[in-house]
Structures are given as C-alpha cells and as structure tokens.
Amino acid sequence: MRTVARYIFLFMLAALPAWAQESPYFVTYDHHLEEPGNLEIETQSNAGVPRHGEPSYFAPYIELEYGINTRWTSELYLEGQSRSGDSTIFTGWRFENRFRPLAGEHRINPILYFEYENINEASRIQKEIPGQAAEFDVPNSESRHIRAHELETKLILSSDVHDWNISENFIAEKNLSHNEGIEFGYAFGISRPLRTIASAANCHFCRENFIAGAEVFGGVGSTHAFGFQDTAHYLAPALSWQVSDNSSLRFSPAIGLTSKSAAVLLRFGYSYEIRGFKDKLAGLFRSKP
C-alpha cells in the first residue's frame, strides 16, 4: 500500500495543470517574463538514468509563476523524488525572482535572477548542474536528512535575432549549510518556431504551434576547485507544442556528455496560463458580502 500511495502522489504531482510557455528550454532561461497579473501553473518532471548501475529516479515538481509587473516575475517551486527500489519523498521548495533592468527590446537583453532554495540532498529536478556532479548512489533514507539552504544567482543574456532566440546563462550558487565555496555553472540555448507565418487553417498540429531548439548545460567547478574535473554536462534537443491559447507541452531528452553525467535525462512539462489572474482574484474578493 505504501508503494501504491507513493506512485499516486507522484502521478498527482506530475499531472496537475500548468502554464503555457513559448520557450522549449528546461534549463536555460531567456528574457521573456510572465505578463503582469497572469499566473502560470506548470508541472514538470525529470526522469534520470544514471551510469554505473545506480538506480534510476523520477523527480516531478510544480511551478507557480506570477507576473508582478513588466520587469519582475516571481516563481515558487514544490518538488519531490522517487528512486527505483527506494522510496518517494518530498525534497523541498524554491523561491525565484527574475528582474529585467532595461525596459524594451535590445540586441542583448539582460535578466537578473535570484533564487532561495530550501531542499535536501535527495533533490533531483536538476534545474541546473552547477559545481561538481552529484552522487547518485546515496539512498533517500540518508540524503533526505541532509538539508541544503542555498542562494543562487544567474546572469541571463538573451537575444531574439530574426526568428531565432539565443540565450546564455551564467550561474553562481552558494550552499549556506555546508562549506562548499561558490559553485559555478552555465546553460546555453537556441530555438526557433518551425513556421513563423500562421496558416489560414485553425489547427492544433500546424507547424507554427511548435518551437524546436537545443540547449547545453553543466558545471564548471567552484571556488574550491574551478574547472571541468568531475563535472556533469548535457546536450538536450527540445520541443514545445502550443496546444491551445493558454496551454503548452514540452519535451526534451538530455544526453550526458561526461562520465560523471547521468546517461540520459528525460524531461516533460505541461503548462496552463490563467490570464488576468490578479483581476479575477480581486473580483472574487469584491463579490463577497
């Protein structure tokens, strides 16, 4: 019964509706923020197949993204993890904020990213891969008790060039719970729509509803040991499908490029956007007697 309950919990976590995002990236951020007053609810999952016979894992998470204004987007993450032959656990939460210092579109659009993480060492959503590669052979019964309070910053540089998006992320992360120095990482992505001119037909499978791209991401060590030794790196093609005006699906298989990387990461995402959420919420309170 406990095993059944574990998988019911994970299924519910992975199946909740989420927000529509145009970008196909799972790790790389571009400069497009959420529209002010809109709420995006997104479910994503990361299924990992490690090397050297370690157990595979499934890590779903829920993301709530809200557009505070035209230059500030805030997000809350709740995440879990299930390990083959092990257990299913809640691994923590993250609070993220992205700020756009410059108004309007520019040749290069900078975004400042700040995130606080309250997680444990069993976390496997792998939103980024800074520092040295994580160990996959520690059971959940041990890693769940190792807390990590972390601060993460990113400099996001993003450009829309004709029909292409080109984005570069530079990552610095500090674990406040352990003396690991400051860890560094990167993520680069490029994408474009399969078609830029909308067809006359109203269809779900028209090429303009799909955006294809690829991203590469990994770690470059820390202030204790800077460089590529014992780091993980991945190459990931990505595809997003705009299912409707306010919902989308995304998929990306990531291939590990080093011996310290997992062999494969399979990522899935579904998003659903509530437009005018702020006004709807205000109207709900006004209608109360």
* Distance from C-alpha of 50 to C-alpha of 113, rounded to nearest angstrom: 29
Reported as a pLDDT band with limits 50, 70 and 90, residue 288 is low
The CATH number of residue 19's host domain is: 2.40.160.40
In the prediction, which pLDDT does 289 show? Answer: 60
Q: What is the pLDDT of residues 36-54, one digit of tens each?
A: 999 999 999 999 999 888 8
Terminal Cα distance for the chain, rounded: 45
Confidence of residue 259 (pLDDT cuts 50, 70, 90): very high
Report the pLDDT value the prediction gives residue 8, as an integer from 0 to 100: 40
CA atoms within 13 A on the CB side of 185: 27
| Mean of pLDDT over the chain | 90
* DSSP H stretches of helix in the chain: 2-15, 140-143, 277-286
> CA-CA-CA-CA torsion for 169, 175, 181, 186, nearest 10 degrees?
-10
**Short-list 285, 246, 248, CA closest to 23:** 248
Average pLDDT of the residues in 260-285: 90
Find residue 65's DSSP bridge partners: 40, 75
pLDDT tens for residues 195-222?
887 766 678 788 899 999 999 999 999 9
> What residues contact 104, with CB distance under 8 A and at least 6 apart?
none
Determine contact, residues 258/169, Cβ cutoff 8 Å.
no
Q: How far is CA 99 from the centre of its chain?
A: 17
pLDDT band at 248 (very low <50, low <70, confident <90, very high): very high
For residues 272 and 20, the answer to whether their CB atoms sit within 8 Å is yes
Pairwise CA distance, residues 17 & 62, whole Å: 9
pLDDT at 282 over 90: no
What average pLDDT does range 250-255 have in this prediction?
98
Give yes or no for residue 251 having a pLDDT over 70. yes
More confident residue, 281 or 4: 281
In this structure, what DSSP letter does residue 273 have?
Answer: E
Residue 7, pLDDT score: 43
Q: What is the DSSP letter of 131?
A: B
* Local confidence band at 287 (pLDDT 50, 70, 90 cut-offs): low
Give pLDDT, residue 197: 78
pLDDT per position as a tens digit, 80-95? 999 999 999 999 999 9
Parent domain of 279? 2-286
Q: How many domains does the chain have?
A: 1
pLDDT digits (tens, 9 = 90+) for 104-160: 999 999 999 999 999 999 999 999 999 999 888 889 999 999 999 999 999 999 999
pLDDT at 28: 98
Nearest residue to 81 via CA among 55, 53, 51, 46: 46
Please tell me the predicted confidence (pLDDT) of residue 150: 97
DSSP 207: G
